[in-house]
Amino acid sequence: MISAPYLRRTPRALESKLRVLERGEDMVLAEHFTPVGPVVTTTLETVRFEPPERVHFRLVRGPVPFAVEQFHLRETDEGTELEYSGDLGTDLWALGRLWGALVAPRWEAAVRGSLAAIKAEAERRAARG
């Protein structure tokens, strides 16, 4: 479910959030669009899939010089558990730390929104059987 909008045709409902520029068998180069107040920011990331356990994200272009993230999925008795981890790095010493402190909450909010959408869709599909 997580890989489909990347590795297959991106659904219309996600066109305002995601544009895949290049697709491979297990990796894509994608633009992600995130509203920040009245402005929409664009990040360029590689997204690599290791089905069924992991999805890796690596920032190529964005508001910070370094960001890597990972979704780790595990089957449990209750269903699937998703664990998120990530690192965001800055440069320019104190100025970079200040910028990172401004960017990180917005980045985390975008991740929370994505995870909530994934959860809602998974629950909707599970309810349908």
Looking at the structure of the chain, the number of domains it has is 1
DSSP string, 38-100: TEEEEEEEEEEEETTTEEEEEEEESSSSEEEEEEEEEEETTEEEEEEEEEEE--SHHHHHHHH
pLDDT of residue 75: 95
The pLDDT tens digits for 55-103 are 999 999 999 999 999 999 999 998 899 999 999 999 999 999 999 999 9
d(CA 128, CA 20): 29
Per-residue tokens: 25: 């068998």
pLDDT at 126: 87
Region 39-43: what's the mean pLDDT? 91
pLDDT of 7 strictly over 80:
yes
Provide the residue type at 127 as one letter: A
Q: Pick the closest to residue 31 from 20, 47, 15, 16 (CA basis).
A: 20
pLDDT mean over 25-42: 92
Domain of 117: which CATH number? Answer: 3.30.530.20
What's at 45, amino acid-wise?
E
- Grade residue 37 by pLDDT with cuts at 50, 70 and 90: confident
Provide the domain limits for residue 115: 4-128
> Residue 1 above 90 pLDDT?
no
- Supply the pLDDT for residue 122: 87
pTM: 0.91
